[in-house]
Amino acid sequence: MRRLYSGGFRFHCRYGPCGCAGGLQHIAGARVKLVRQLGEGQFGRVFLGVCRQFPTPADVTAVAVKAPKLPPAAAASGLAAHDEILRDFEREAELLDGLRHDSIVALYGISIDETPMLILEYMENGDLNKFLRSLLPPLVIIIIIYYYYYYLLHHKVAQYKTAKR
């Protein structure tokens, strides 16, 4: 099992520390430059970034970078909240790593050098929700969302999120 928080930000997997034979690709944080913030949620922020030397050493690729909001570690309750956020981050990375489909944003890799970050495919035209709302009437959107959740639950992708609440 992969673990992000065993005494620090060392990423472990079933193959040993930081040398995955398959699984998540590790991208050095120094190769990722954040350009601007795209959005913010309760648990994290998403940035537009550029990743140098990805996928080949001569390339520069536009990426979306998702970083969790970490509470100050000095606070007494901050440590428990910090670990909870890192566990959720780890689960999201493992979930996205297992999903490979043309219609799902690709997870390029993970960076854990200083602050944990998910390096994702950048969607130039925004997210699917905004796209669908601009083109389709609300009833069609509800039907699409229903089938999307049915697919996720049927394949046990979203089970841990629904069971948690």
Q: Give mean pLDDT, residues 13-19.
A: 41
Domain ranges of the chain: 1-124, 125-165
- pLDDT tens for 29-78 read 899 999 999 988 888 899 999 999 888 888 999 999 999 987 765 455 55
- pLDDT tens for 126-160 read 777 777 777 767 777 788 888 888 888 777 655 54
Q: Which residues contact 143 (CB under 8 A, 6 or more apart)?
A: none
Q: Is 160 left (phi over 0), alpha (psi -120 to 50) or beta?
A: alpha
What angle, 0 to 180 degrees and rounded to 10, lies between the N-to-C axes of helices 128-135 and 138-154?
150
CATH of domain 1-124: 3.30.200.20
Confidence (pLDDT) at 41: 83
Q: How far apart are CA 88 and CA 85, in angstroms?
A: 5
